[in-house]
Amino acid sequence: MSKTILIGSPNSGKSLLFNRLTGLNQKVANFPGVTVDINSGKSLAHPDNKFFDFPGAYSLQTISGEEKIAVEAFYAALQDPQTSSVICVVDVTRLEKGLIFALQVINACAEQQKPLIIAANMIDVLNQHSLKMDVTGLEKALQVPVIAVSAKSGAGLEELQDKAISHTELPCAYSSDIIASDESVTHRQAQQLAADYGPKGDLLINAQTRLDEFFLHSWFGGISFLVIMYLLFQSIFTWAAPVMDGVESSLQFMAELILPLLPAGVVSDFTADALFGGIGAFLVFVPQIFVLTLVVGMLEDSGYLARAAVICHKPLRVFGLTGKSFIPMLSSVACAIPGIYAARTVDSPRKRWLTYLAIPLMPCSARLPVYSLLIAAFIPATNMFGGLIGWQGLAMFGIYVFGIVCGLLVTALVSKTNKDLQSDLPFVLEMPPYRLPSWRPLLRNAWSRSKHFVTKAGKVIFLVTVVIWLLGYFPNQGAALGESWLGQMGQWIEPIFSPFGLDWKYGVAILTSFLAREVFVGTLGTLFGIEGGEENIISLAEHIQNSGLPVGAGFALLVFFSIALQCVSTLAVLRRETGSWRLPTQLFISYSIFAYAAAWLTFVIVEAIV
Amino acid sequence: MTLWDLKQGTSATVQSFVSSLESSYRTRLSELGFHPGENISCVLSPSLGAPKLYRVNNSVYSLDDSVASLIKIGSQVGSQVGSPIGKSE
């Protein structure tokens, strides 16, 4: 099997091109540095050829550890006899920058005598604005095939694939005119080539600047940032609510249809309590995960996130972070795992390390079912201004802000007390062009994230639910939950959680949630299902309301879940990224103690007020 | 005078880097276009000390004071009212 390497500057549209060529669904976003691993996939048109998508690089001369790993991997791939061709992706709207890198790649390919093709990407953007570039002229000047393509529309991709597969016909010898050993010569060459063959005029960049003048304006920029962030959190409730209601009604309908057909006893009780009560309670929240991923993806694709990073830079610097920390922190709102990977875009090792401390405190989507459940149980579902502002949405916004503030306070404290923490680099961030989001990849990404959430968390929830149900149902066939095996075990752990007003059922749910946060909802659903007997189909929020849980305990639970690091995957990925168990262990222990103390304090304060 | 002193809507030529700037970062800035002899314009200068936006050729970068103040520039060239980065064709 032959191999084709895809390489290019950050945000040149390389991963979108890779997805087009392979039919895969690699994460893409309008922000530099999204690809952090080398991905591979078989060509759709020529299955005997494999494409390798390398992380974007500004240069083959590296300045950080991560860049070094990617560039060394590129050189190693060039030496691989199976590598038959290299495609260097260049964004034609920013031609000079792309050509500086392309000239370096030409140099590297010349050394290894590997054929190279330049993919002049985003040709559709030039066409939209009636701008032209001289592809033939550039091809002649470089003496390398240059193919105009649009990864977005698919234009030119057939020619690109055919060219890559017919590598034996491609030149492996390069003109000495374009091979420069000196960096300043490469620079002048790129400048001249862009001036001679690139699109003329400032139309694109002027349009970008007009939008920047608004989105980065001292007042409007700050206000629009707050409005966008608020709408993001509000959308989780208002947009997802009808679908959530639909899922809940469907589950109820299915339960009413299936349960009468089952023989009374263990099978019927298991189906009602563990399947519909436990797993069903968790499935209701999947639409919220979908909406959250979709809206964050929209912001990424539009180019707005880079502006948000600029807006946040000065305030985040107060807490020892950088504007670049904003992207991993916002990604962590969907899930901490992509957030930890996105932290690789923070080039300063010191600030990246501090970002790792903040990420587990970001309100991830696994916390969402717990927050939604507790808010639904304790906050009235009244809306104002035609549903634009609702108390539940405000409460969600509040608990999200609480998590973020905790994260910032931790980084500020560590940054102030540990000045020599790793080396630092200054803030330089490329502003990507504004683009209309591409709906298809966004919807696909949101769907795959929701599917991943259901299949991955679902397995754990199913296992825990079955174990919890068995322990709670026997030995007295569900007659009295308190006298079951689980009830007896629960009495032992009750003293741990009773200081913040929780009985043993919540204690068991908290302990099981250390496997994954969402398990809390499934466990409670199963426990209330067993206890509820005939009424086990009513919503879990109603069960909590009827259980007489004090308001202070509800708030304490919210605070506990917003701080505690109950995610095995986060700990494993942190270990992978930092190369040791030291940081994950420290974070797990310190955040558990912090969560317990803050929850107790919340309970005491709220109970004193109400 | 440094790049951080450049006012919105004006441009200047990069002269050199302050010696305290790490050599690897000097190389990276040069690759991005901030190299001696290059003309840089300040596209946007938000208030409250937020990072400024600088245009180099057809790319726009945001730099904060910690790095922009390490790039020495020549004298500023004229204010371009209405279109700080030049006129379109």
pLDDT digits (tens, 9 = 90+) for A336-349: 877 887 787 787 88
The answer to whether position B80 is within a domain reads no
| A228: pLDDT strictly greater than 80 | yes
| DSSP bridge pairs for A390 | A383
Q: How far is A403 from chain B (nearest CA, A)?
A: 25
DSSP letter string, A57-94: -S-SS--SHHHHHHHHHHHHHHH-TTEEEEEEEEEGGG
| A204: pLDDT strictly greater than 90 | no
The answer to whether position B54 is within a domain reads yes
pLDDT in tens, A8-50: 888 888 888 998 898 876 665 555 555 556 788 898 888 888 9
SS (H, E, C) A393-446: HHHHHHHHHHHHHHHHHHHHHHHHHCCCCCCCCCCEEECCCCCCCCHHHHHHHH
pLDDT in tens, A546-595: 888 888 999 999 999 999 998 877 888 888 888 889 999 999 999 999 99
β-strands B39-44, B52-56 pairing: antiparallel
The answer to whether position B37 is within a domain reads yes
Quick one: angle between helices A349-358 and A568-578, nearest 10?
170
CB–CB contact B61 A430 (8 Å): yes
The answer to whether position B41 is within a domain reads yes
How far apart, in Å, are the Cα atoms of A403 and each of A209, A337, A511, A574, A602? Answer: 34, 17, 21, 19, 14
Residues of B with CB under 8 A from a CB of A: 24-25, 27-33, 35, 43-44, 46-51, 53, 55, 57-64, 66-67, 70, 83-89
Q: What is the pLDDT of residue A420?
A: 67
> Can you tell me the distance from the alpha carbon of B29 to that of B26, in angstroms, rounded to the nearest whole number?
5
Where do runs of H (alpha helix) occur along A129-240?
A: 135-142, 157-165, 183-197, 203-215, 220-238
Q: Supply the range of the domain harboring residue B48.
A: 3-73
CB–CB contact B86 A202 (8 Å): yes
Please return the burial class of A509, using the count of CB atoms within 10 Å of its CB with bins 0-12, 13-18 and 19+. Answer: buried
Q: Count Cβ neighbours within 10 Å for each residue of A304-314 and write b for 16 or more, e otherwise.
A: bbbbbbbbbbb
CB–CB contact A218 B48 (8 Å): yes
> Can you tell me the distance from the alpha carbon of A446 to that of A440, in angstroms, rounded to the nearest whole number?
10
β-strands A116-121, A2-8 pairing: unpaired
pLDDT in tens, A154-203: 899 999 988 888 766 666 667 777 666 677 788 888 889 999 998 887 77
Q: How far is A86 from chain B (nearest CA, A)?
A: 22
The answer to whether position B83 is within a domain reads no
Cβ count near A573 (within 10 Å): 19
Residue B69 sits in a domain whose CATH number is 2.30.30.90
Confidence band for A64, pLDDT divided at 50, 70 and 90: low
The answer to whether position B65 is within a domain reads yes
CB–CB contact B32 A430 (8 Å): yes
Q: Count Cβ neighbours within 10 Å for each residue of A264-273 and write b for 16 or more, e otherwise.
A: eeeeebbbbb
- Number of folded domains in chain B? 1
For residue A357, report the phi and psi dihedrals to the nearest 5 degrees: -70, -35
Question: Would you say A9 and A88 are in contact if contact means Cβ atoms under 8 Å apart?
Answer: no
The answer to whether position B85 is within a domain reads no
How far apart, in Å, are the Cα atoms of A7 and each of A42, A101, A573? Answer: 16, 10, 26
> Can you tell me the distance from the alpha carbon of A204 to that of A127, in angstroms, rounded to the nearest whole number?
12
Q: What pTM value is reported for the model?
A: 0.75
Cβ count near A419 (within 10 Å): 8
Spell out which residues of chain B touch residue A311, defining contact as CB-CB under 8 Å. Answer: 50
The answer to whether position B31 is within a domain reads yes
Confidence band for A404, pLDDT divided at 50, 70 and 90: very high
> Can you tell me the distance from the alpha carbon of B59 to that of B71, in angstroms, rounded to the nearest whole number?
18
Higher pLDDT, A129 or A405: A405
The whole-chain average pLDDT of chain A stands at 84
Q: How far is A58 from chain B (nearest CA, A)?
A: 8
Confidence band for B68, pLDDT divided at 50, 70 and 90: very high
Closest to A395 in 3D by CA, of A565, A234, A597, A561:
A234
Quick one: angle between helices A135-142 and A183-197, nearest 10?
150
